Amino acid sequence: MRAVLLGPPGAGKGTQAVRLVERYNVPQISTGDIFRKNIKEGTELGRKAQEYMNSGQLVPDELVVDLVKDRLLKDDCKNGYLLDGFPRTIFQAEQLDKFLEEQGQQLDAVINFEVGYDTLIARLTGRRVCKSCGASYHVVNMPPKTEGLCDRCGGELEQRKDDTKETAVNRISVYEESTAPLIDYYSKTGALKNFDGETDPDQLLEEIVSVIGE
């Protein structure tokens, strides 16, 4: 299964990706996670991406496209993958199409999550992530069993630098301008499947599976 998860910041792409990875046994490729890992490790890519991410801007296309293409050529992507946070611009989508054509492949689905503005802001500002394993929580919607600690590994929870109200607002407007046009782009190819992202995450998984198939 080759699929793209599309939707504004806080739509629940990462939350569904965890469930879909388990169901379909394909890797999640999150460009945001790749950049955050590079920032943590202090690589040159991380250094270049950091400023854009912290202010809620997109990282320039030239730093993203080759990175994703290289990742998609790895062995674990042979049976498919779940792209989370890529493509995010029309240019990135066109580059992905070119790549797929070269590989003789196509996307099975573009899974688009629709979520209202106020919900997005509440989700982003309330999100907490584990410093050690990256698991994601929400102070109200999905609180950990012990406040401040990860259920999975006991690691400390922290707030992402770009999850302040100001940066969240900025990220949503960048989404509207640069990424929302992909909805139209993919509706023309017939790959687009829309979902109500305000549904309970486990129920949403079942809805997705019923639309895109087992």
The packing angle between helices 165-174 and 44-55, to 10°, is 100
Residue 116, burial from CB neighbour count under 10 angstroms (0-12, 13-18, 19+):
exposed
* Residue 59 binds ligand AP5, judged by CB under 6 A: yes
By the 8 A CB rule, do 4 and 107 touch?
yes
* Residue 12 binds Mg ion, judged by CB under 5 A: no
One-letter amino acid at 102 equals E
- What is the nearest approach in angstroms of ligand AP5 to the Cβ of residue 125? 9
Task: Kindly identify the residues of this chain, within the stretch 89-128, that bind ligand AP5 according to CB under 6 A.
Answer: 92, 123-124, 127
* Dihedral sign, Cα of residue 147, residue 148, residue 151, residue 154: negative
- Interacting residues of 74 by C-beta distance below 8 A, sequence separation 6+: none
CB count in 10 Å sphere of residue 88: 20
- What is the nearest approach in angstroms of ligand AP5 to the Cβ of residue 204? 6
**In terms of CB distance, is 13 or 193 closer to Mg ion?**
13
Task: Kindly identify the residues of this chain, within the stretch 39-98, that bind Mg ion according to CB under 5 A.
Answer: none
How many residues make contact with ligand AP5 (CB under 6 A)? 36
Question: Is 193 strand, coil or helix?
Answer: strand
- What is the nearest approach in angstroms of Mg ion to the Cβ of residue 5? 9
Q: Where in the sequence numbering do the catalytic residues fall?
A: 13, 88, 127, 160, 171
The residue count of the chain comes to 214
Pairwise CA distance, residues 68 & 44, whole Å: 17
- What is the nearest approach in angstroms of Mg ion to the Cβ of residue 8? 11
Stretch that binds Mg ion, among 7-15, 72-80, 114-122, 178-186 (CB under 5 A): 7-15
List the one residue from 12, 14, 87, 144 that touches Mg ion (CB under 5 A): 14
**H helix count then E strand count, the chain:** 9, 8
* Residue 64 binds ligand AP5, judged by CB under 6 A: yes
**In terms of CB distance, is 31 or 112 closer to ligand AP5?**
31
Question: What residue ranges bind ligand AP5 (CB under 6 A)?
Answer: 7, 9-15, 30-32, 35, 52-53, 56-59, 64, 85-86, 88, 92, 123-124, 127, 136-138, 141-142, 162, 171, 199, 201, 204
